[in-house]
Amino acid sequence: MTDTIPVRVWRGGDAGAFQTFDVALRDNQTVLDIVTDIQRRQDPTLSYRFACRVGVCGSCAMTVNGVPRWTCRTHVAKVAAEGVLTLEPLRNLPRLKDLAVDMTPFFDKWQKAGGTFEGRKTRDDAVDPVKPGSRARKAADAAIECINCAVCYAACDVVDWDPDYLGPAALNRVWTLVNDRRHARRSDTLDKAAQSGGCGSCHSQGACMRHCPVGLSPTESIAGLKRALLFSLLGGRL
Amino acid sequence: MRIDTVDTDILILGSGGAGLFAALHALQTDPDLDVTIAVKGLLGKCGCTRMVQGGYNVALAPGDSVERHFMDTIEGGKWLPRQDLAWALCLFAVERVQELENEIGCFFDRNRDGSLHHKAFAGQTFDRTVHKGDLTGIEIINRLMEQVMARPVRRLEDHRAIDLIPAKDGSGIAGALLLDIRTGTYRMVRAKTVLLGTGAGPTMYKYHTPSGDKSCDGLAMALRLGLPLRDMEMVQFHPTGLLGGPDTRMTGTVLEEGLRGAGGYLLDGAGRRFMADYDPRGERATRDVVSRGIYAEMRAGRTGPMGGVYIEMKHLGPDKVAAQFPGMVKRCADCGFDLAGDRVEVVPTAHYMMGGVEFDPDGSTELPGLYAAGEDCGGVHGANRLGGNGVANSTVFGGIAGESMARYASRRKSPADPDPAAIDAAIERAERPFGLPRGAGLADLRDALAKCMWDDVGVMRTADGLRRGLSRIADLSGALANAGLADGDRAFNLTWQDWLNLDSLLAVSTVIATAALDRDDSRGAHFREDYPETGDLLASAYTRIRAPDGAAPSLERVPVAFTRVRPGESLIEDEVLGGDAP
């Protein structure tokens, strides 16, 4: 006889209810596998989102037992200690259906924060030499490998309270740009971080850092932005 | 049935390196154009550009040259590549990498003096792979995505293409019929020009690496339209895919090449190193050789409990392994395996399709107004692809296609009138499952296709096996045509998507098996146990297949034109290839 686990799954959009499925437990099973099993073998109408299935695309994040997680890399054994799974869509984003959310506001804020590079050189020029050991380069490197999964955005209470807050991921990207000496608009980008809903809104609660599946610390990046803004206010230059 | 219609100048299908570069270059060529990107999931998150680990091949290092990169590409492709395409790849890779760094904002790894770091990659005579750690694709696609989102590009996310729609008057392309996955309704996008950039992906195999959303939809649409596909027998297997047992989506995902390069062992089920039985280079032999070695062990039954072999790294020192391969160690740990200190079970896994739609160096195809770029295309890599040439392919030709499409669109006042019969046929096709009795479960059908492709159309092939495979694929196609779905809420209906995915995969599987049966020699990724030798290189021909409107595939062999270099010659001075190339 196979062991099963009760899985409570949110069905519907803003209005809806939990539906419980018993899912067979297997070795090496992720939360995404559980959801897939339900859709393939029990209820073909269950909606969810995934793509790469290996922790690179950031499409499959959900709320798992109250915690935002990437589901493709979350082993069931790690999160089902109580013997039950409760799955809901990611917090702080509009719900589409069941476990799928609309990520548009997350990316709109990324743009609003100014998270886009502008270079001084063109495709006809040689690549800029950048010393890998420089302080700025190290700061950018430490924050750059974000997969924009929105787990930090869902974990952040400030995003929940203040719909204008740009959120940890967008500001983390801004910090990497401020530290990118090839970026032509570093001062403007830094100034933008001071906009309403910018880094000043962060309460340094650190939920983003605790939940980031790839181990980044947007909290530190935002603290860096605050320091850099103070420095520039005192007349310093980047 | 009411169908929403959208008019645009340029419609791009797919949002990987090809699609995003096409959008940027089209707008740079003519900023007044209206550009639309349609993608099956979210922009930049679908597809495989994001999944690139290794890096980007480019002849930028001192002492390297476009000629050298080109010769490696031709040799690696076993003289099957279309040489003008391979040349364009190597030539424009230089411009594209500089564009990625200087204009798009990618931050590739550096040497101590600040210059670009180039790493060594298998099958290449020079260290020329530019990278960002071992997650190069994330950096490339994130930066591209930001640039596209900062521009006035219409985004149709969660939209899958059902069919390419030709013009009523037969003059060329008129757009594409899309299915809005979120609402479950159809949307006709009329466009002056269309890019096919959906990224193929051999996900019909039991073990496969590509993104789970991929299902060869672009190739299936091109086939139905009657376009020629080439080199479809050429499916590259990566030797070390993670094995997690049945019904886990993680199974098949790549454990990187560098593990073997660093000195990792491959062990059979009893713990014996076996690769020296197959090749003097042992575990460090090329991808195809190691894949065949592992496959032979598996077939002989010398496997671990899940049916694979083991990779073992611990003799190199667990701490050292964890420091050198943090991404791979964490990936395994998340699945419950200890790569640094224990054995992890692996299998060869279908990785990339070298074959695809025939296209010209400007991105155009046989149908006026239809362009193609990236893994949907054939001819760049020939019989095998070098690691690092995949992302170069999509970004180089995506950019070029964007420029060509902008010029094409600027010359036209409005999109052509679409053929209404083609739209009706496309809708009828997509609606099929709702009119059928409930038959076999889709998951079982997909598993059966995966097993059939793995057993009979996989790493090692024979005429008998391929015939058996073709017959099985035909049976499964018949079963799908009897596997109905309950109609009801069509919004975000993944099971409907599964049905359509399987339909695409079956069409393309048929073509792979047909081409593999025809190629009676072994070269590159294609290995025939009944024809183990490579034929006369000077007489090389490639396979070209057409199957319009679901007809049985018709195949012809087309001689390779050696337009720049012939077997036995080299573009590099003082070097004649064909013998023991370094």
Residue B441 sits in the same domain as residue B346: no
Q: Is-catalytic flag, B110?
A: no
User: If you count them, how many residues does chain B have?
Assistant: 582
Domain boundary residue among B323, B351, B379? B351
Work out the mean pLDDT of chain A and round it to a whole number.
95
Contacts of B184 in chain A (CB under 8 A): none
The radius of gyration computed from the CA coordinates of chain B, to the nearest angstrom, equals 23
Mean pLDDT of A107-124: 97
Strands lying side by side in the sheet with B56-57 = B56-57, B129-130, B118-119
Q: Would B71 be classed as within a structural domain?
A: no
* Catalytic-role residue among B159, B224, B260, B287: B260
- Give the number of domains in chain B: 2
Distance of CA A17 to the CA centre of its chain: 26
CB-CB contact of A173 with A113 (8 Å): yes
Asked whether the beta carbons of residue B246 and residue A26 sit closer than 8 angstroms, the reply is yes
Instruction: Please report, rounded to a whole number, the percentage of residues in chain B having pLDDT higher than 90.
Output: 89
Q: Are strands B35-38 and B4-13 parallel, antiparallel or unpaired?
A: parallel
pLDDT interval class at A119 (50, 70, 90): very high
User: How many Å apart are CA B288 and CA B302, to the nearest integer?
Assistant: 20
pLDDT interval class at B545 (50, 70, 90): very high
Domain boundary residue among B351, B370, B396? B351
pLDDT given at position A238: 63
Residues 6+ apart with CB under 8 A from B255: B240, B241, B242, B311, B328, B331, B332, B339, B344, B346
Residue B397 vs residues A44, B39, B75, B77, B174: alpha-carbon distances, Å: 39, 18, 21, 18, 22
How far away is chain A from the Cα of B252, in angstroms, using its nearest Cα?
10
Q: Is-catalytic flag, B131?
A: no
Mean pLDDT of B98-107: 97
pLDDT given at position B579: 41
Q: Would B92 be classed as within a structural domain?
A: no
User: How many Å apart are CA A44 and CA B438, to the nearest integer?
Assistant: 13
Q: Of B509 and B576, which is predicted with more confidence?
A: B509
pLDDT given at position B582: 38
The enclosing domain of B290 has a CATH number of 3.90.700.10
> Residue A83 pLDDT more than 50?
yes
Mean pLDDT of B205-211: 97
Residues 6+ apart with CB under 8 A from B56: B93, B97, B100, B108, B129, B130, B131, B136, B140, B388, B391, B392, B395
Q: Would B213 be classed as within a structural domain?
A: no
Check residue B503 and give left, alpha or beta (phi > 0: left; psi -120 to 50: alpha).
alpha
Work out the mean pLDDT of chain B and round it to a whole number.
95
> Residue A235 pLDDT more than 80?
no
Q: What is the ipTM of this complex?
A: 0.97
pLDDT interval class at A2 (50, 70, 90): low
> Residue B387 pLDDT more than 70?
yes
Mean pLDDT of A214-219: 96
User: How many Å apart are CA B307 and CA A85, to the nearest integer?
Assistant: 30
Q: Would B25 be classed as within a structural domain?
A: no
Residue A1: count of CB within 10 angstroms of its CB: 3
pLDDT given at position B65: 96
pLDDT given at position B301: 97
Contacts of B443 in chain A (CB under 8 A): 40-41
User: How many Å apart are CA B338 and CA B329, to the nearest integer?
Assistant: 7
Residue B18 vs residues B194, B395, B396, B544: alpha-carbon distances, Å: 13, 5, 8, 23
CB-CB contact of B94 with B58 (8 Å): yes
Domains of chain A: 4-101 (3.10.20.30), 104-233 (1.10.1060.10)
Residue B243 sits in the same domain as residue B341: yes
How far away is chain A from the Cα of B77, in angstroms, using its nearest Cα?
27
User: How many Å apart are CA A2 and CA A5, to the nearest integer?
Assistant: 10
> Residue B335 pLDDT more than 70?
yes
User: How many Å apart are CA B221 and CA B205, to the nearest integer?
Assistant: 20
The radius of gyration computed from the CA coordinates of chain A, to the nearest angstrom, equals 20
> Residue A1 pLDDT more than 50?
no
Q: Would B224 be classed as within a structural domain?
A: no
Q: Would B142 be classed as within a structural domain?
A: no
Between positions 485 and 524 of B, the ones with CB within 8 A of A are 485-486, 488-489, 491-495, 498
Q: Of B134 and B27, which is predicted with more confidence?
A: B27
pLDDT interval class at B22 (50, 70, 90): very high
> Residue B557 pLDDT more than 70?
yes
DSSP state of A214: T
pLDDT by residue (tens digit) across A29-67? Answer: 999 999 999 999 999 999 999 999 999 999 999 999 999
Q: Would B78 be classed as within a structural domain?
A: no
Mean pLDDT of A167-183: 97
Chain B interface, mutation test: which of A123, A138, A182, A212, most B Cβ atoms within 10 Å?
A: A123
Q: Would B254 be classed as within a structural domain?
A: yes
pLDDT given at position A237: 66
User: How many Å apart are CA A75 and CA B313, to the nearest integer?
Assistant: 23
pLDDT interval class at B121 (50, 70, 90): confident
The enclosing domain of B502 has a CATH number of 1.20.58.100
Least confident of A198-212, B315-329, B470-484: B315-329
For chain A, the 3-state helix, strand and coil shares in percent, each to the nearest 5, are: 35, 15, 50
pLDDT interval class at B574 (50, 70, 90): low
CB-CB contact of A72 with A55 (8 Å): yes
Domain containing B476 equals 437-536
pLDDT given at position B438: 80
How far away is chain B from the Cα of A236, in angstroms, using its nearest Cα?
25
Q: Of B532 and B335, which is predicted with more confidence?
A: B532
pLDDT interval class at B578 (50, 70, 90): very low
Residue A139: count of CB within 10 angstroms of its CB: 18
